[in-house]
Amino acid sequence: MDRSALVRLDDVPATAAPVRMDLYGPIHKALRAFMFDTVARLGRCDAGDPAELADTVARARGLLHIMRGHLTHENGFVHPAIEARRPGGSAITGEDHEEHERAIAALDGALDLLEAIDDARRPATLHRTYLRFARFVAENLEHMEVEETHNTALLHAAYDDAELMDIHDRLLASIPPAELMTDLRWIVIGVSHPERVGILTDMRAKAPPPAFAAVIDMCRDVLSPNDWGKLANALGLPAGAGLVEVW
């Protein structure tokens, strides 16, 4: 399909206009962080160290699980929203999704092979797996940019922010808890401090207190001391131990 008419931001100057509700932004930052981390781990993995290999393969499978889930969420909520008011608008990224489903299945197979292969051929198999994951990441980087520019422009023209927030909240409610916690872990790692504060403030208002407390515990585990201190300060939380007692 011809992509020349897609909205891209390359030559559009940034403005100071109020930021619109962005369905793609935080989760795509999360996926980029998770994909980069996985490729880097595959690149430095010692094929002769069984424990390190098993850990790397498990993390790579975790990424594929999250990527598969992400396709389901976009196919189930975002593309139908585009199609409802801009028929045909999601065609390009819809085609990409079909390709990504096949790519994910192929990468799962590559990990199966990596685990099953004999010791002599494992280093070369690991390197091929690394390159295949890197290509998958490259394809996803292109795809996500189309979603964050072209698809987002369609959504912003067709919906107001309250409607987009309703789509966002319904999508979020559909995600199984374990998958959601993994998504949130990488969102927290991938977004900026102001975005982190906005997301957690929204979550504090909507999520049950124990669920919010678990996310805050996770934040303390994954953030740098500086980022955690800034977050705790912005949310009015004690930065030290005993945090859960606040709730």
Biggest CA–CA distance in the chain, Å, is 58
Minimum CB distance to Fe ion smaller for 56 or for 182: 182
Stretch that binds Fe ion, among 68-76, 148-156, 179-187, 216-224 (CB under 5 A): 68-76
Stretch that binds Fe ion, among 74-82, 103-111, 114-122, 149-157 (CB under 5 A): 74-82
Minimum CB distance to Fe ion smaller for 74 or for 183: 74
What 3-state DSSP class applies to 232?
helix
The angle that helices 193-206 and 209-222 make with each other, rounded to 10 degrees, is 160
CB of 143 to Fe ion, least distance (A): 6
CB of 13 to Fe ion, least distance (A): 27
CA distance 76 to 22: 17
148 binds Fe ion (CB under 5 A): no
Minimum CB distance to Fe ion smaller for 107 or for 232: 107
Q: Which positions from 19 to 58 touch Fe ion by CB under 5 A, shown as an x/- string? A: ----------------------------------------
Exposed / middle / buried, residue 108 (Cβ in 10 Å: 0-12, 13-18, 19+):
middle
CA distance 237 to 125: 47
Q: Which of 21, 31, 38, 74 binds Fe ion (CB under 5 A)?
A: 74
Stretch that binds Fe ion, among 72-80, 131-139, 162-170, 236-244 (CB under 5 A): 72-80
Total residues contacting Fe ion by CB under 5 A comes to: 1
CB of 93 to Fe ion, least distance (A): 5
Shortest-Cβ-distance residue relative to Fe ion? 74
User: Which ranges of 6-49 does DSSP label H, i.e. alpha helix?
Assistant: 25-44
* Nearest CA-CA partner of 150 in 17, 6, 47: 6
**Is the separation of the CB atoms in 56 and 46 below 8 Å?**
no
Determine the straight-line distance between the first and last CA of the chain, rounded to whole angstroms. 52
| Residues in touch with Fe ion (CB under 5 A) | 74
